[in-house]
Amino acid sequence: MVRILNKIVLNFEIMVEVFKTNVQKETDTNYIIAIINREFPNYKVNFDLEDCDKILRVEGVDLEVDNIIDYVNCLGYICVKLE
């Protein structure tokens, strides 16, 4: 994908990672998203609590998967990357 930003052409590939979690409440998802966005402001983050795996979806360039898992785990939740 090519993006023109301030007349500079940047080539980057957007990655998408999906994680299984045990998050149950919408208020908890908002807090987790805020923490991830604070550390990684260029990531697009959302949850699907209706899915049986309580999916966390993260989209961005050069995703730091292990750090995402660590942040969610440190908040007291299970977070496992789905293959």
Kindly state the helix (H) or strand (E) to which residue 44 belongs, with its residue range: strand 44-48
b/e string for 15-28 if b means 16 or more Cβ within 10 A? eebebebebeeeeb
What does the pLDDT read at residue 18?
A: 98
- Alpha helices by DSSP H, listed for 1-83, are 26-39, 65-74
Handedness of CA 29, 33, 77, 53 (dihedral sign): positive
Give the predicted TM-score (pTM) of the model.
0.85
pLDDT digits (tens, 9 = 90+) for 35-44: 999 999 999 9
What is the residue whose two structure tokens read 């080539």? 11
Low-confidence ranges of the chain (pLDDT < 70): 1-11
What does the pLDDT read at residue 45?
A: 98
What does the pLDDT read at residue 66?
A: 97
What does the pLDDT read at residue 8?
A: 45
